Amino acid sequence: MDQKLQQLRNSTIKEISGIKSRVDLNRLYLKIFGSSGEFTLLLKSIPELPKEVRPKIGKLANQVKKELEQAILIKGRDLEKGRLTEKMDVTFPAVLPPLGHLHIVTKAIEEIVLIFEKIGFNNRHYREIEWDWYAFESLNMPKNHPARDDFETFYIDEPPSPSFGQMVLSPHTSSGQVREMEALKSRPPVRMINIAKCYRPNWDLTHTPMFHQFEGLVVDKGINITHLKGTLDYFAREFFGSERKTRLRPFHFQFTEPSFEVDINCGICLGKGKLENGENCRFCKSGWLELGGAGMVHPEVLKAGKINSQDYTGFAFGWGIERTYMMKSGTRLDDIRLLYGNDIRFLEQF
């Protein structure tokens, strides 16, 4: 053991003298004193030696440790001095660090906000955790409505509020409608674009349990369906391109009357359903793609927001950002879940 310690000291001192960089010096330190370093292993074997030689070897080990640590310290200082006096060519081209970019959903949100701000909408972000009252009750949704089922909504396991009911993860941005009316002290005009995360227990090619919606809400005197249609067409042209337009199909939502589903003409066949060579368009099949829901605000919702429905009317629409983005020309994603897989090879393409 005596000999092994001496050998370790001599070979390490020799090695230290040949070292040229801090990195190599750190490596050497770990090689000797790291948890399975050469010195550490020798030290660990001392208890196995005969009792009478242990004190002598222990003393020698301490001495070798001090010497080697001292030599490493001095070498470190020398290297530092050398580094500081080393000449540097400041004209040498630098290696640029790799630059990331915003996530595509964030980019889509920024674009959508800008489009609506241009026509006077206020940008809001209402809550992700909501009371039943704002998510359902104030929106004229009866207690037995399927959307309130716990297969469709995440309920928070907390005692309900006496006034607002159970806490939920907001299943749609429509929860922001009555909040906005309250925020404006029930005094129209209301012009809101509410963008928020929404949650529903779904997971497949077109559904994720967390997704984003944007909700438009306008309430004022004399608002009618033509204002809704004009706003939707304006958005379609700005976001998707000048040749795009929307169509409304009758539908049913509890919080709008009349209600519609909104479609946009396909960016590939421009609504014809057929390509120039006569083949059916495989992207849309019918010429139109579904964007989301819309309608004229139900008088009961205005009442919940303490706005007089005799004097005021309004329209609302709510769409998923991920699906809206996927429909944008040129981005033909066939699985919405790719957006949240965090696979850098996918994300860096955008």
- Known binding residues are 257
- Binding-site residues from annotation for Mg(2+): 257
- Cβ proximity to ligand FA5: between 70 and 202 the closer is 202
State which H helix or E strand residue 158 sits in. Answer: none
Tokens of 255: 């919080």
Helix (H, G, I), strand (E, B) or coil at 209: coil
Task: Report long-range pairs for 179-188 (Cβ below 8 Å, ≥24 apart).
Answer: 179/126, 179/127, 179/134, 180/124, 180/126, 180/217, 180/305, 181/219, 181/302, 181/304, 181/305, 181/306, 181/307, 182/305, 182/306, 186/305, 186/306, 186/307, 188/219, 188/220, 188/221, 188/307, 188/312, 188/314
Of 287 and 293, CB closest to ligand FA5: 293
With respect to ligand FA5, which residue has the nearer C-beta, 19 or 284?
A: 284
Of 124 and 272, which has the nearer Cβ to ligand FA5?
A: 124
Closer to ligand FA5 by CB, 132 or 215: give it.
215
Contact footprint for ligand FA5 (CB under 6 A): 172, 174, 200, 202, 207-208, 211, 213, 215, 253, 256, 292-295, 316-320, 322-323, 336
Q: How far is the CB of 199 from ligand FA5 (least distance, A)?
A: 8
Question: Closest approach of Cβ 288 to ligand FA5, in Å?
Answer: 14
Minimum Å gap between C-beta 264 and ligand FA5 is 12
Closest-CA residue to 173 (of 230, 119, 263, 112):
112
Least separation in angstroms between CB 295 and ligand FA5:
5
Is the distance from CB of 246 to CB of 262 less than 8 angstroms? yes
Output the CA–CA distances (angstroms, integers) from residue 336 to 3, 141, 153, 202, 292, in the order listed.
67, 29, 20, 12, 16
Which strand (E) or helix (H) includes residue 119? none
At residue 48, the 3 state secondary structure works out as helix
With CA atoms as reference, report the closest residue to 105 among 265, 326, 280, 346: 326
Q: Which is nearer to ligand FA5, 64 or 232 (CB)?
A: 232
Nearer to ligand FA5 among residue 93 and residue 146 (C-beta): 146
Using alpha carbons only, what angle is made at residue 321 by residues 232 and 210, rounded to the nearest 5 degrees? 145
Alpha-carbon distance 279 to 166, whole Å?
A: 52
Residue closest to 190 by CA, chosen among 108, 83, 301: 301
| Shortest distance (Å) from residue 322 CB to ligand FA5 | 5
- Of the pair 29, 315, the CB lying nearest ligand FA5 is at 315
For residue 164, the minimal CB distance to ligand FA5 (Å) is: 19
Q: What is the CA radius of gyration of the chain?
A: 34
Rounded to a whole number of angstroms, the minimum distance from the CB of residue 172 to ligand FA5 is 3
Residues 6 or more apart from 82 whose CB is under 8 A from it? Answer: none
Helix/strand/coil (H/E/C) assignment for every residue in 10-42: HHHHHHHHHCCCHHHHHHHHHHHHCCCCHHHHH
* Smallest gap from residue 253 Cβ to ligand FA5 (A): 5
